[in-house]
A and B are shown apart, each in its own frame.
Chain A
Amino acid sequence: MENGKTLKSGEFLVDEISYQDVFIPEEFNEEQLMIAQTCKDFLETEVYPHVEKTDAGDIELMKSILKKAGELGLMGVALPEEYGGFGQSFVTQMLAAETIGAGYSFSVAFMAHTGIGTLPIMYYGNEEQRQKFVTKLATGEYLGAYCLTEPGAGSDANAGKTNARLSEDGKHYILNGQKMWITNAGFADIHTVFAKINNDRVLSSFIVERNFPGVVVNPDEHKMGIKGSSTAQIFYNDVKVPVENLVGARGEGFRIALSILHMGRLKLGANVVGASKKSINDTVKYANERKQFGVLISTFGSIKHKLAEQVIRTFAAESATYRVSKDIDELITKKKNECQDKGRATMEAISHYAVEAAILKVYGSETLDYVVDEAVQIHGGMGYSAELPVERGYRDSRINRIFEGTNEINRLLVLDTAMKRAMKGDFDLFGKAATLYENMDAITDDKTTDETYLQEKSRIIHNFKKAILLAIHGVSAQYGKTLIQEQEVMNNISDMMIETYISESTLLRVQKLESMNKEMSVFKAILDVNIYEAAHKIRKAAFDAVHSFADPDLTCKLKKVMDILTVTGCVNIKDARRMIADKLIEDNSYKF
């Protein structure tokens, strides 16, 4: 395996990289850890003490907390120094996002401001727009919101009806329309609004200041969770937007919206890792204090199983999060050398990893939902009480599967984007899949007698990839261009891809940890369970796909091969989970 290699988005399906080329959380430097500590200290001193009040709808308090975060410089982590930021790497941005992710509603308000509320202007705005707006968004002097969704345009964002008409004197666009589910609506000074100019087929993007006449913000919505974040409808009634507030070119809005959403998905992937760790910490502390039948509930096997699963999934999501972050950093550097506009270069690099962004979003949000659900379960009746933080965590988690593109949309994107990239020539997917398909009868599990522990795990993951290629070839042959109408089958294959990317990232991290001479027993236990679970999920998804598209003969043939390709080694899953849980219980917090 060649070192110094970076894979393109989706290329993991047909190629492999060395553990030396991935970044793992154990490699954070002192400065990165200090930034994370600042985020953590901020949550402890400014966010958690006020969480009851902000959740009760004290919007002014949330605004003041955001302003304090701005004073500390936290809103400028991702922004270049020339616009008042600190020009940190994408890995560092993701670490800050992870840490802030434990901040309940604050996290949502903060991420909306720093991500979708600021970056469209930063990455697609011109120099005047950046100087006028980004410098103030970087310090929190201005707070931002991103206005895309409309009553009739959610996942189908381009169906929006908001219209912008050039005024007769050519100095303004007259904006009319309605936006909904707008995070930070209650206090945002700057709105990035997506609208169609005249009868354009695609969207354009505008900077709208809240105090422009005709901007009307409705009262906040009553929500299931993230109650402390402001979410409201905004109406634009004949709002005169100066022509110089058009962001990017006319008709570029849809591209901007999608690019920003790719970035948002990546950051969400980091947020949910932080939220998961917070929930695990709350839960293990409770399990280490609560006694039933005269003993601590953390001594029960059923509880250990849940605690271990929480850790394994969080560890795996974290591994993938920082793996792709480093890939993005490398592509940003490359693009900046090629492109005049540094902002656009950054956004293009982030958007490139659309497959992995969707994977992080889906796997991470579903991991957090699992973690918070079991957190409530381990707390028993107390978990259902609003007195303890896990109840809030449970409610706040649910939105992550909905915003930044629903998980349904993102599942489709995983496979669809990878296939499109392959068709574009980024990597050879279909040729390799066809060759494998033609030689299906010769497929074995490739097991050798002298393979090491980590070689065995690498081989198993390589086999997962073969299973995916066979499935892709099968559905492509069966459905051709109509595949997009077979969402169920696409979901099956996307699930196979998600599990494979996550397991491979976990493996690469464990390989690197071994090279760093770390104590390996717990990490190997995590990898054992992760790959064991992934194999079963991949097998089930593969069978579901095969039963959906193949005729009976082909179904039998493919199922046999899928069985071979999803065999895992012999592992004592119960003991592995207990070892992981015992470390968590001993440390009384997540220290993996």
Chain B
Amino acid sequence: MRILVCLSNVPDTTTKVKFIDNLTKLDTGGIQWVINPWDELSLTRALELKDDAAHNIQQVTIAHVGLAGSEPTIRKALAIGADDAIRVNADPRDAYFVAAQLAEVIKINPYDIILCGIESSDYNGSTVGGMLAEFLGIPSVSSVSFLNIENGQVLIHREIDGGKEILTLPTPFVAIVQKGITKEPRIAAMRGIMMARTKPMKVTEPVATGPLTEVLKYELPKPHAACKFFDPEHPKQLVEMLQNEAKVI
């Protein structure tokens, strides 16, 4: 059995987000790039499955759509324990484009289990996994918080409103992974870091497919207005402000 982990390269969550080119592009200067946290959990779960010889996982592969600048993030995934990686050499313009490129990778070299994070922590689109399954004509399961192989059968838990759904399905399939799939992301060990540079990273060129969307501009949330404080001894002032200034009562 072979597992493919789809990996997105995202800014560290402490990044101070700024836009350039008339607010149409993220200013990438000084950004520290990391593995998308949900993808990191997916990778960790894939490696946990591989660690158990009974599951007979031969290979855990990383697939990524991005330019050469994202290779350090891919190599970190290799250091964590993935066996090899495929990078589609293209700027990931929108979810449709990314899903289409990933689908081409999988069509050439099929995998049994394909893991996608439920969203990426930068654009939070939450659509790549579903589109990818559609491109491939295979099932997808969203919000997966548990994935195991028991007696040769895949067992999945998915979060649903007020509880969970437990299901099984045949391979191949796309699992759209939620938190809970594993406890903590795995840390790259020294041996893994040393081995990462020798693991295969294949670079392929993208297939021709247009993005379906065009970003007109980004907007940052408006800064919080300053708080106004009112003397508790004079509640009338508060009421007047709510009536006349805020106009909410």
Contacts and interface: CB of A to CB of B under 8 A. Distances in A.
Contacts of B187: 38, 41-42, 45, 72
B14 A588 contact: yes
A72 B190 contact: yes
A34 B193 contact: yes
B189 A72 contact: yes
A74 interface: yes
Contacts of A588: 14, 16
A31 B190 contact: no
Of listed A33, A34, A71, A588, residue having the most chain B CB within 10 A: A34
A71 B193 contact: no
Interface in B50-90: 72, 75-76, 79
B39 to A, nearest CB: 16
A77 B194 CA distance: 11
A587 B17 CA distance: 10
Contact of A586 (B16, B190, B191, B226): B16
A73 B75 contact: no
Interface string A2-18: 00000000000000000
B202 interface: no
B189 A71 contact: yes
A33 B33 CA distance: 12
A41 B189 CA distance: 11
A30 B190 contact: no
A26 to B, nearest CB: 12
Interface in A32-63: 33-35, 37-38, 41-42, 45
Given A45-B184, A587-B16, A591-B30, A35 B190 contact: yes
Interface string A517-537: 000000000000000000000
A73 B191 contact: yes
Interface in A97-124: none
B193 A31 contact: yes
B189 A73 contact: yes
B197 interface: yes
A86 B188 CA distance: 14
Contacts of A34: 72, 75-76, 79, 188, 193, 196
Nearest to A40: B187
Contacts of B226: 294
Contact of B190 (A33, A77, A294, A591): A77
Contacts of B194: 31, 86
Nearest to B76: A34
A495 B193 CA distance: 41
A30 B73 CA distance: 10
Interface string B171-207: 0000000000000100111110110110000000000
Interface in A454-471: none
A38 B190 contact: yes
Interface residues of A, number: 23
Contacts of B190: 35, 38, 72-74, 76-77, 86
Interface string B13-37: 0101000000000000010000000
Nearest to A30: B72
B12 to A, nearest CB: 10
A145 B188 CA distance: 27
Contacts of A72: 187, 189-190
Contacts of B184: 45
Nearest to A42: B187
A176 interface: no
B16 A37 contact: no
Interface in B189-240: 189-191, 193-194, 196-197, 226
A586 B29 CA distance: 14
Nearest to B226: A294
A591 B187 CA distance: 23
A294 to B, nearest CB: 8
A476 interface: no
A33 B34 CA distance: 12
A589 interface: yes
Contacts of B75: 30, 34
Contacts of B76: 34, 37
A73 to B, nearest CB: 3
Given A45-B187, A72-B187, A591-B30, A38 B193 contact: yes
A470 B162 CA distance: 80
Contacts of A73: 189-191
Nearest to A34: B193
B197 A31 contact: yes
Contacts of B72: 30, 33-34
Nearest to B183: A45
A389 B226 CA distance: 29
A545 B75 CA distance: 55
Nearest to B14: A589
Interface in B108-133: none
A330 B126 CA distance: 50
A207 to B, nearest CB: 25
Nearest to B194: A86
A363 B187 CA distance: 33
A86 B191 CA distance: 8
Contacts of A589: 14
A154 B184 CA distance: 44
Contacts of A591: 30
Nearest to B193: A34
A591 to B, nearest CB: 7
Contact of B193 (A35, A45, A587): A35
B176 to A, nearest CB: 25
Contacts of A35: 190, 193
A27 to B, nearest CB: 15
A71 B190 CA distance: 9
Interface in A179-203: none
A31 B197 CA distance: 9
B126 to A, nearest CB: 26
Contacts of B16: 586-588
A25 to B, nearest CB: 14
Contacts of B188: 34, 37-38, 41
B195 to A, nearest CB: 11
Nearest to B186: A41
A80 to B, nearest CB: 13
Contacts of A86: 190-191, 194
A588 B197 CA distance: 33
7 contacts: A30-B72, A31-B197, A34-B79, A34-B196, A37-B76, A38-B190, A41-B188
Which 4 pairs from chain A and chain B are nearest by CB? A73-B190, A41-B187, A72-B189, A30-B72
Interface of A: 30-31, 33-35, 37-38, 41-42, 45, 71-74, 76-77, 86, 294, 586-589, 591
Given A31-B196, A35-B190, 15 more contacts: A30-B75, A31-B193, A33-B72, A34-B76, A35-B193, A38-B188, A38-B189, A42-B187, A72-B189, A72-B190, A73-B189, A73-B191, A86-B191, A86-B194, A588-B14
Interface of B: 14, 16, 30, 72, 75-76, 79, 184, 187-191, 193-194, 196-197, 226
